[in-house]
Amino acid sequence: MKTLSLKNLRKTYFDPYAGSQVTAVHDVSLDVEQGEFVSVVGPSGCGKTTILNMIAGFIPYTGDEILIDGNLVKGPGPDRGVVFQSFALFPWKTVLENVGFGPKMRGVPKDERDRTAREYLALAGLSHAADRYPNELSGGMQQRVGVVRALANNPAVLLMDEPFASVDAQTRMTLQEELTRIWQERKPTVIFITHDVAEAVFLANRVVVLSKGRVLDQIKVDLPRPRVWDHLIEDETFKRLSAQVLQMVRAA
Amino acid sequence: MNIALRFWSGYVRTTHRWPIIATIVPFIPVVAIWSIVANSGMFPRAFFPAPVDVMRSFISLTYKGILPDYLQDSLIRLLFGATIGVALGIPLGILIGSSRLAHRICWPVLLFFQAIGDIAWLPILLIWFGFGLTTMTFVIVYTVLFPIVLSTVLGVQSVHRDLARAAQSLGASPMRVLWEVTLPGALPNIITGLRNGLGYGWRALIAVEIIVGTSGIGFMMFDARRAGSTVEILLGMIVLGTLWYIVDAWILAPIERATGQRWGLVTS
Amino acid sequence: MLVAPGQKVRSRVAWRGMNSLVGAALFVAPLLVLVAIWAIVVPLFNVNPRIFPSVGSVAEAAVAAIGDGSLIRHIGASMLRVGLGTFLGVLVAVPLGIAMGVSPAVSAFLTPLFRFFSVLAGIAWIPIATLWFGYGFGAIIFVIFNAVFFVVAYNTLLGVSTIPMTIRNAAASLGAGRWALLTEVLLPGALPNIVTGVRTGLGFAWRGLIAAEMIATNVGLGYMLFVARDFYRTEVIVLGMIVIGVLWLFIDRLLLVPLERATIERWGLVRRT
């Protein structure tokens, strides 16, 4: 079953400085099955974040349609959970309140949403930080909160916009491994935007390569799970796939 | 739609080129509304004059030389008081900021005297010095001094200890550390303090000119109030607002930004 | 929120109590030293009481002013004016500031306007306020109201427009509607700026109050000072100054600063004085 379907998605916007229309995305079509993990890679300026923002409903789109479980996208909504590069945690809410925000918006009573939030915090190994404020956590911990906050809302699709780009290299690897583990446990549908080729291949079932607002190619990733860096770093298939994607991105 | 877009595009590009326009344009509807309300006869004209009346009075007072003279008086008083305030405030702030003991002793005293507020000093100053320049200068110095001292202290304390250590290990004497490290490090805060201080300072000046006044913009406004001339009061307010806007937005704020952002220090 | 075992909480509260007690003592000590110096210097140099009063005469003035109820009346009048003016100012300014700050284009357009008026806020309005409302309560309330209103509205506008778009997007994608966006994101996000605005605005309002009371009324702390001047009663003037200082210190340090700290520092937003 298709969870997400993009049909001839386009984006043109008016640049007041240039005084003309600029096209950022040309006719992108993409189908994502339920429980699939799709990475979208491409050099900066290839339109990948624009696409994600359109799916999320943050910016209006042009083109045919975006469907989530068969429903047309109109503006942001809880069926699409978003994980931001800048974390975008509410600084004035504790970690627990941040994670419980989605359920709160649905009108879930406090006891129940606290229970849900704690359960998801435990999933990310964050139970001890429930009553802290985001500002008091490290970048890696903040992004863990960002991920479970989106998950706790039970979205049909999880949209991740270069979520690990602003944490240090070691933490990034840990977070990537944790994400694959959580994905295996919960099987959410994920669109993962990144410019890091190895990251894209490591996480995904399918890698979509984007260039200048167009889909260049798609590559299936049939690596076994659970995926751990210690094994994959030496793995021939992983190396071959990464090299293949890298070549496409660099040629783009 | 297309014309609107083109118009907007033109506006964005012009304001990008000349940012002053973005500052002036928002005032056009305000002046227009003011003009319409004043001309509608909703309020008596003497009570609520139109922009044209204020403009006329601006021209006539400028022509007679009253406005320039008063403005000059006010500015000289403010500048004089502010200079003394800065000259006293920065050394005092550095002293208090760099010594824990001095900080412990002086901080409460500073806060208390700041809390009394410039204007509350006026009655006793009038007894001490009478109606005159000394009283005015005292009030302005007093007003400007505290924000500068307080933010200099904060600035000195915010300079990372490692910076001073780095300078020392590179062979700087204590005086050089003060000059090369502490002072530049505290500069963004000092300028914030100066900005706040002047903001309070010119308000104090207006109050003093109203109460003590023999000349100056504040005096002009209150004299006009006694004569019931709303036009001149509004003129005074507009002159003050414009003048201070220019000083604050085009001189003080850019300096503050230049030091604070350029160096990547967090101030505000 | 922070639920810890009872014992731990109690000891933490006790520790904090001790800490603030020591802090208060350290704060008051230098001021007491200052009073001591005053008590020694005035009789030592035989200062003319018309120039500067002795500690004793100020204390006597305080007892007298408390005894006949005039001090309470003046304080009451001043506090009522400040309280009412500030309340009205904040009440109008915050919703307006948030409404204006929601759209980046609108807030960019309105910023110069509010900046201009917040520059004028306070004392500069005294002449026209007394003309419009006559000498008295109305004019003073108006001066305080606009001192608070423009500064708070400008800061609220600024606060809302500095909330990162991603945070607003995050709330929307988690299912927040308009009302939830307002109460859960815009209001708390702008709160540090609002508090700073109230602090600055009250600073202007307080000075405006004292000035306006000297000019435009027959009751209040400013009036008390100004009338005492006519009779060269320096002890009443100094008493009034001390009362003004202590009152403001209480308002600022016990109300505004802790509020500012609670929001700004806890949430990791910009630190201030």
Q: What is the 3-state secondary structure (H, E, C) of chain C?
A: CCCCCHHHHHHHHHHHHHHHHHHHHHHHHHHHHHHHHHHHHHHHCCCCCCCCCCHHHHHHHHHHHHHCCHHHHHHHHHHHHHHHHHHHHHHHHHHHHHHHHCCHHHHHHHHHHHHHHHHHCCHHHHHHHHHHHCCCHHHHHHHHHHHHHHHHHHHHHHHHHCCCHHHHHHHHHCCCCHHHHHHHHHHHHHHHHHHHHHHHHHHHHHHHHHHHHHHHCCCCHHHHHHHHHHCCCHHHHHHHHHHHHHHHHHHHHHHHHHHHHHHHCCCCCCCCC
CATH of the domain at A181: 3.40.50.300
Q: CA-CA distance, C109 to C160, in Å (whole number)? A: 14
Whether residue B53 is contained in a domain is answered as no
CATH of the domain at B79: 1.10.3720.10
Beta strand A214-220 with A80-83: parallel, antiparallel or unpaired? unpaired
**Residue A1 pLDDT class (50, 70, 90 cuts):** low
Once rounded to an integer, what is the mean pLDDT over residues C117-137?
84
B246 touches chain C (CB under 8 A): no
Once rounded to an integer, what is the mean pLDDT over residues B74-102?
89
Whether C109 and B203 lie within 8 Å, measured CB to CB: no
Q: CA-CA distance, A120 to A182, in Å (whole number)? A: 10
Q: HSE (CB half, 13 Å, CA atoms) of C127?
A: 30
Q: Is the pLDDT of residue B14 over 90?
A: no
Whether A75 and C172 lie within 8 Å, measured CB to CB: yes
Q: CA-CA distance, B28 to B39, in Å (whole number)? A: 16
Q: CA-CA distance, A219 to A208, in Å (whole number)? A: 7
Domain limits for position B152: 73-261
Q: What is the mean pLDDT of chain A?
A: 89
- Identify the contact set of chain C against chain A, taking CB-CB distances under 8 A: 1-2, 164, 166-167, 169-177, 180, 184-185, 188-189, 191, 263, 266-269
Q: What is the number of CB-based contacts under 8 A between chain A and chain B?
A: 14
Whether residue B12 is contained in a domain is answered as no
B227 touches chain C (CB under 8 A): no
Q: Is the pLDDT of residue C271 over 50?
A: no
C226 touches chain B (CB under 8 A): yes
Give the pLDDT score at B263.
Answer: 61
Give contacts of B115 with chain C, Cβ < 8 Å.
Answer: 244-246, 248-249, 252
Once rounded to an integer, what is the mean pLDDT over residues C83-89?
93
Give contacts of A19 with chain B, Cβ < 8 Å.
Answer: 6, 9-10, 13
Q: CA-CA distance, B129 to A216, in Å (whole number)? A: 83
Once rounded to an integer, what is the mean pLDDT over residues A232-242?
90
Once rounded to an integer, what is the mean pLDDT over residues B24-38?
87
Give the pLDDT score at C6.
Answer: 40
C258 touches chain B (CB under 8 A): no
Whether residue B29 is contained in a domain is answered as no
Give the pLDDT score at C272.
Answer: 38
Count the Cβ atoms, other than its own, within 10 Å of residue B8.
Answer: 14
| Closest chain C residue to B240, measured at CA | C120
Residue B222, CA distances (Å) to B65, B138, B210, B236, C129 in order? 18, 21, 6, 10, 11
Within 8 A by CB and 6+ apart from A57, the residues are A73, A74, A75, A76, A77, A80, C172, C173
B175 touches chain A (CB under 8 A): no
Q: Are A12 and A31 in contact, with CB atoms under 8 Å apart?
A: no
Q: CA-CA distance, A102 to A99, in Å (whole number)? A: 7
Q: Which two tokens stand for residue A121?
A: 């915090």
Count the Cβ atoms, other than its own, within 10 Å of residue B82.
Answer: 23
Within 8 A by CB and 6+ apart from A179, the residues are A147, A203
Beta strand A206-211 with A189-194: parallel, antiparallel or unpaired? unpaired
Q: At B8, phi and psi to the nearest 5?
A: -60, -45
A64-105 pLDDT, tens digit per residue, is 888 888 888 888 888 999 999 988 999 888 999 999 999 999
A16 touches chain B (CB under 8 A): yes
| Closest chain C residue to B108, measured at CA | C27
Give the pLDDT score at B85.
Answer: 92
Once rounded to an integer, what is the mean pLDDT over residues B3-15?
79
A84: left (phi over 0), alpha (psi -120 to 50) or beta: beta
Q: Are B80 and B143 in contact, with CB atoms under 8 Å apart?
A: no
Q: What is the 3-state secondary structure (H, E, C) of B110-122?
A: HHHHHHHCHHHHH
Element of type H or E holding A245 = helix A236-251
Note the CATH architecture for domain C55-264. Orthogonal Bundle (1.10)
Domain limits for position A37: 2-79+155-251
Domain count for chain A, please give it. 1
Count the Cβ atoms, other than its own, within 10 Å of residue C174.
Answer: 28
Q: Name which of B30, B104, B112 is nearest C31 (Cβ-Cβ).
A: B112
How many whole angstroms from its chain centre is CA B9? Answer: 35
Within 8 A by CB and 6+ apart from A93, the residues are A101, A133, A134, C188
Q: Is the pLDDT of residue B168 over 90?
A: no
Q: What is the mean pLDDT of chain C?
A: 84
Indicate the burial class of C166 (C-beta count within 10 angstroms; 0-12, 13-18, 19 or more): middle
How many whole angstroms from its chain centre is CA B165? Answer: 36
Once rounded to an integer, what is the mean pLDDT over residues B29-46?
85
State the chains in contact with A (3 or more Cβ–Cβ pairs under 8 Å): B, C
C53-82 pLDDT, tens digit per residue, is 888 899 999 999 899 988 999 999 999 999
Interface test with B, best of A14, A15, A21 (most B CBs within 10 A): A14
Q: Are C79 and B208 in contact, with CB atoms under 8 Å apart?
A: no
Whether B8 and A19 lie within 8 Å, measured CB to CB: no
Dihedral angle computed from the Cα positions of residues A125, A129, A135 and A141, in that order, rounded to the nearest 10 degrees? -10
Amino acid at A165: A
Q: What is the number of CB-based contacts under 8 A between chain B and chain C?
A: 165
Q: Are C191 and C200 in contact, with CB atoms under 8 Å apart?
A: no
Whether A16 and B6 lie within 8 Å, measured CB to CB: no
Q: Are B255 and B266 in contact, with CB atoms under 8 Å apart?
A: no
Give the pLDDT score at C268.
Answer: 64
Q: CA-CA distance, C201 to C147, in Å (whole number)? A: 6
User: In this structure, is the dihedral angle defined by the CA atoms of residues B12, B15, B21 and B24, taken in order, positive or negative?
Assistant: positive
Give contacts of C117 with chain B, Cβ < 8 Å.
Answer: 241
Interface test with A, best of B9, B11, B17 (most A CBs within 10 A): B9
Interface test with B, best of A12, A13, A17 (most B CBs within 10 A): A17
Whether C173 and A75 lie within 8 Å, measured CB to CB: no
Within 8 A by CB and 6+ apart from C63, the residues are none
Closest CA to C233 of C14, C17, C11, C61: C61
Q: CA-CA distance, A186 to A165, in Å (whole number)? A: 23
Q: CA-CA distance, B164 to C51, in Å (whole number)? A: 47
For residue A71, the distance in angstroms to the closest alpha carbon of chain C comes to: 16
Q: What is the mean pLDDT of chain B?
A: 84
Q: Is the pLDDT of residue C7 over 60?
A: no
Q: Are B234 and B51 in contact, with CB atoms under 8 Å apart?
A: no
ipTM of the complex: 0.84
A127 touches chain C (CB under 8 A): no
Q: Are B194 and B148 in contact, with CB atoms under 8 Å apart?
A: yes
pLDDT top residue among A128 and C255: A128
Which residue pairs, CB below 8 angstroms and at least 24 apart, start in C22-27? C26/B104, C26/B108, C27/B107, C27/B108
Beta strand A62-68 with A2-15: parallel, antiparallel or unpaired? antiparallel
| Closest chain B residue to A18, measured at CA | B9
| Closest chain B residue to A14, measured at CA | B5
Once rounded to an integer, what is the mean pLDDT over residues B192-210?
85
**Planar angle of CA A195, A196, A198, nearest 5 degrees:** 145
A34-66 pLDDT, tens digit per residue, is 999 999 998 887 888 889 999 998 888 888 888
Q: Which two tokens stand for residue B183?
A: 């002072």
How many whole angstroms from its chain centre is CA C95? Answer: 20
Once rounded to an integer, what is the mean pLDDT over residues B190-209?
86
Count the Cβ atoms, other than its own, within 10 Å of residue B155.
Answer: 27
For residue A82, the distance in angstroms to the closest alpha carbon of chain C comes to: 7
A117-168 pLDDT, tens digit per residue, is 999 999 888 999 999 988 888 888 999 999 999 999 889 999 999 999 888 8
Q: Are B93 and B150 in contact, with CB atoms under 8 Å apart?
A: yes
Closest CA to A39 of A149, A178, A158: A158
Q: Is the pLDDT of residue B83 over 70?
A: yes
Beta strand A214-220 with A206-211: parallel, antiparallel or unpaired? antiparallel
Whether residue B32 is contained in a domain is answered as no
A60 touches chain C (CB under 8 A): no
Give contacts of C183 with chain A, Cβ < 8 Å.
Answer: none
Q: At C54, phi and psi to the nearest 5?
A: -85, 165
Give contacts of C271 with chain B, Cβ < 8 Å.
Answer: 266
**Residue C8 pLDDT class (50, 70, 90 cuts):** very low
State the chains in contact with C (3 or more Cβ–Cβ pairs under 8 Å): A, B
How many whole angstroms from its chain centre is CA B124? Answer: 25
Whether residue A75 is contained in a domain is answered as yes
For residue C20, the distance in angstroms to the closest alpha carbon of chain B comes to: 15
Q: Name which of A56, A89, A134 is nearest C173 (Cβ-Cβ).
A: A56
Q: Is the pLDDT of residue C18 over 70?
A: no
How many whole angstroms from its chain centre is CA B195? Answer: 6
Local structure of residue B43 (DSSP, 8 states): S
For residue A130, the distance in angstroms to the closest alpha carbon of chain C comes to: 10
- The position carrying tokens 């998801």 is A120
Whether residue B35 is contained in a domain is answered as no
Closest CA to C224 of C240, C211, C208: C240
Three-state secondary-structure class, residue A86:
coil
Local structure of residue B218 (DSSP, 8 states): H
Whether B108 and C27 lie within 8 Å, measured CB to CB: yes
Q: Are B193 and B152 in contact, with CB atoms under 8 Å apart?
A: yes
